[in-house]
Amino acid sequence: MARDCIFCKIGGGEVPGDLLYRSDQCFVIADIAPKAPIHLLIVPNQHFTYLTGLSPSFYPVLGDMFAAARVMAETHGVTNSGYRLVINQGTNSGQQVAHLHLHLLAGQPMGAMG
């Protein structure tokens, strides 16, 4: 846990957060500045910042994060209409919290990226 990380504090119960889902590896909260009608953050319990430091020992955590995304898509009824999963890495990507997290965006047509 990083002492100054808001996600670590939410996951650890130090800061209140509306947890929508929790597993042994990750938790899900709503984004406080949503970019779509449904904008969820899937956050690993273990503090981890960049994919460049990824080792095989973290693969189960990533798998669990994607499993959580599937559950949340089903829970929010967007499995068939579609949803977008995004991981931002670094300041140029728009990453605002230096703790790896997966965005699930849905609830409106989003068009192609690029």
Instruction: For residues 84-103, give the mean pLDDT.
Output: 92
Instruction: For residues 74-89, give the mean pLDDT.
Output: 96
pTM over 0.85: yes
Domains recognised in the chain with CATH numbers: 6-106 (3.30.428.10)
The string of pLDDT tens digits covering residues 14-71 is 998 889 999 999 999 999 999 999 999 999 999 999 899 889 999 999 999 999 999 9
Positions of E strands within the chain = 21-22, 26-30, 38-44, 83-86, 102-106
Indicate whether 84 pLDDT > 70.
yes
101 is an active site residue: yes
> What distance lies between CA 108 and its chain's CA centroid?
19
Residue of 76, 99, 101, 103 with catalytic role = 101
Q: How far is CA 34 from CA 11, 29, 39, 51, 54, in A?
A: 20, 11, 5, 24, 28
Question: What is the identity of the amino acid at 33?
Answer: A
d(CA 26, CA 111): 29
